[in-house]
Chains A and B, each alone.
Chain A
Amino acid sequence: AQSVTQLGSHVSVSEGALVLLRCNYSSSVPPYLFWYVQYPNQGLQLLLKYTTGATLVKGINGFEAEFKKSETSFHLTKPSAHMSDAAEYFCAVSDLPEGAAGNKLTFGGGTRVLVKP
């Protein structure tokens, strides 16, 4: 069974500082990995995803994540935090190829980011 662990349920960063959100996964097959963002009182939006190919993935709003198979990690970073980055971030994993019937995402517990001025 697949699983996702996000280290730190809350992260506080200063505006302009590096944002680093940690995600480790467990999967019996090569995983597909995702980061979603949830702004207050809204649904989740896809930030970026890794399927195959380049291990450094760039997403929206200046975020990127690197897939490290040896470390079973998919950490999310942004060089310079902005006030608008305050939200909750979820890492997710799926272990079946796109299009396979029954494929489902398993989510981590989420990390809430607070940005201080």
Chain B
Amino acid sequence: NAGVTQTPKFRVLKTGQSMTLLCAQDMNHEYMYWYRQDPGMGLRLIHYSVGEGTTAKGEVPDGYNVSRLKKQNFLLGLESAAPSQTSVYFCASSYLMGDLTFGAGSRLTVL
């Protein structure tokens, strides 16, 4: 009964480095999302996917790329990390739109 699993849980990067966050869900959900959480700003949608092979931009997509090659996985990539991308990243998935199941989060620090 894993739900939504995010890896890694913590990561420290230097400016300009690249990395990928992995999200895996075992609930056969069609929809998957990446949010970032910053103090006082709630959660903001970065990218989302409505099915395998599809992706779309959210509210704050700049500096991020995503892929959904398999239905159960949704990858978030940072090609050239910047300090402004220091945040906690949450992946979520849903069957019915709006009833999201969240992962535990990935804390990223960019120095």
Contact = CB atoms under 8 A, between A and B. Distances in A.
A45 B104 CA distance: 10
A46 B40 contact: no
B4 A104 contact: no
B90 A105 contact: no
Interface string B29-48: 00001010000111111001
A110 B96 CA distance: 23
B45 A105 contact: yes
Interface residues of A, number: 29
Interface in B74-111: 90, 92, 96-100, 102-105
Given A44-B102, A102-B56, A104-B48, A94 B97 contact: yes
Interface string B4-41: 10000000000000000000000000000101000011
B41 A109 contact: yes
A53 interface: no
B102 A45 contact: yes
A117 interface: no
A103 interface: yes
Contact of B97 (A99, A109, A110): A99
B42 A43 contact: no
Nearest to B54: A101
A98 interface: yes
Contact of B43 (A32, A42, A90): A90
